[in-house]
Structure 1
Amino acid sequence: MDEDYWREHGVQVIKAGTLDANTAQTPGMHREAAINAARVGAQKIWAGTVKIDANAKTGAHHHGALESVIYVIRGQARMRWGEKLEYVAEAGPGDFIFVPPYVPHQEINASTDEPLECVLVRSDNEAVVVNLDIEPVEKPEEVAWIDPIHRKHTHD
């Protein structure tokens, strides 16, 4: 290896203002790629940001065989999923959301006045988005986030 090898093939910093909007999009959201095959040579991962305007909801979609992780930076995310988007749960700043392969889902900004901003990571180097024609149910089933930090809430 020559002495400059790691300069060209080592760590790369992707500055905030340089993300690429030329990636798969879904109505109601704006995705920008930071890490993918084309930009940095990533072979097994895709990462970027997603923004959803206040009170907006995306179209129903899934991401094929990819696993997705969403980290909420700002705002309140409401996720709907299922064959008829019949399940619902919410996540706020600092929360992680895991979306398994092929799960039909919809991201909703639960806030009426604040944008929803998230970091998105997927398990392959290219963005796969399959937009679906699903009519959401009228009354989704509430599903609580239950983990060591978020206990199930009881209603009085």
Structure 2
Amino acid sequence: MSEHSHDHAHDHDHHHEHAEDRWKHDGVRVIKGDRLDSNTAQTPGMFRQAAINHARVGAQKIWAGTVTIQPDAKTGVHHHGALESVIYVVRGRARMRWGERLEYVAEAEPGDFIFVPPYVPHQEINADPNQPLECVLVRSDNEAVVVNITDVDPVEKPEAVYWVDPIHKAPD
């Protein structure tokens, strides 16, 4: 019987060591700000970098990164399907327009959070003509979902710099 106990104890120790290794490599991760990944969809007038995604850390249900938007850059009207998005303004001034006809507008400044619920038609705008807008962006899924809405005439037409990439299509 002592032999069986010994084997059980050895199995427990082996399992314990394996669990420690697992947490060492699959546990908490710190992504340094100077090590973000720009190998993501890029857009003229906008520089996006991934910090947290499936490729970098194995994230299954979330995407996080930074975006720098040049002065006067504006998206076309779109929504992100079932995704929820959170935007935290670090520097600059963001203007959001939303609604069936973009009839609602709000501005955010450094320290403010913006929540974009699923399926809400919206337009993102750098409200400052003189300085870049810097934000942290978090999405509720790893897949980028963008549905462009072409039958709404935006109040603020994207005129200075278009955000055009596989996610944001050029307006007609």
The CA deviation at 1:24 is 4.4
Aligned to 1:35: 52
Determine the structure 2 residue equivalent to 1:137. 155
Q: CA deviation at 1:36?
A: 1.2
For 1:88 and 1:27, how far apart are their aligned partners in 2?
24
Between structure 1 and structure 2, the one with the greater Rg is: 2
Aligned amino acid, residue 135 of structure 1: D
Q: Following the alignment from structure 1 to structure 2, what is the Cα–Cα distance between the partners of residues 96 and 104?
A: 18
In structure 2, the CA distance between the partners of 1:99 and 1:45, relative to structure 1 (3 Å rule), is same
Instruction: Name the CA distance, whole Å, in 2 between partners of 1:81 and 1:125.
Output: 23
Tell me what 1:21 maps to: 38
Q: For 1:97-152, what per-residue CA distance to the aligned partner results, in whole angstroms no more than 9, with x for missing partners?
A: 010001111111111111100101111122222233242137xxxxxxxxxxxxxx
CA distance in 2, matches of 1:63, 1:56: 19
% same residue = 78
Q: Within 5 A, what are the aligned runs for 1:77-88? A: 77-88=94-105
- Measure the CA separation in 1 of the matches of 2:89 and 2:55: 25
Moved more, 15-24 or 34-43: 15-24
Distance 2:98 2:45 in 1: 16
Matches within 5 A, 1:84-95: 84-95=101-112
Q: Which has the higher helix share?
A: 2
Name the CA shift for 1:124/1:46 in 2 (closer, same or farther; >3 Å). same
If the length of structure 1 is used for normalisation, what is the TM-score? 0.78
Give the structure 2 partner of residue 48 of structure 1: 65
Offset, 1:47: 0.7
RMSD of equivalent CA atoms: 1.9
Does residue 1:109 correspond to 2:165, yes or no?
no
List runs of 5+ in structure 2 lacking aligned partners. 1-14, 157-172
By how many angstroms is 1:12 displaced? 1.2
What amino acid sits opposite 1:15 in the alignment? Answer: K
Is there any run of 5+ residues in structure 1 with no aligned partner, and where?
139-156
1:69 has 2:86 as partner? yes
Give the deviation of 1:70 after TM superposition. 0.6
Report the CA distance shift for 1:11/1:18 in structure 2 as closer, same or farther (over 3 A): same
Conserved 8 A contact 1:25-1:129: no
Count of paired positions: 138
Letter of the aligned partner of 1:37 in structure 2?
Answer: H
Q: How far apart are 1:18 and its partner, in Å?
A: 2.7
Q: Is the 8 A contact 2:126 2:132 kept in 1?
A: yes
Change (3 A) 1:102 1:25: farther
Task: Quote how far apart the aligned CAs of 1:94 are.
Answer: 0.3
Q: 1:57 aligns with which of 74, 77, 92?
A: 74
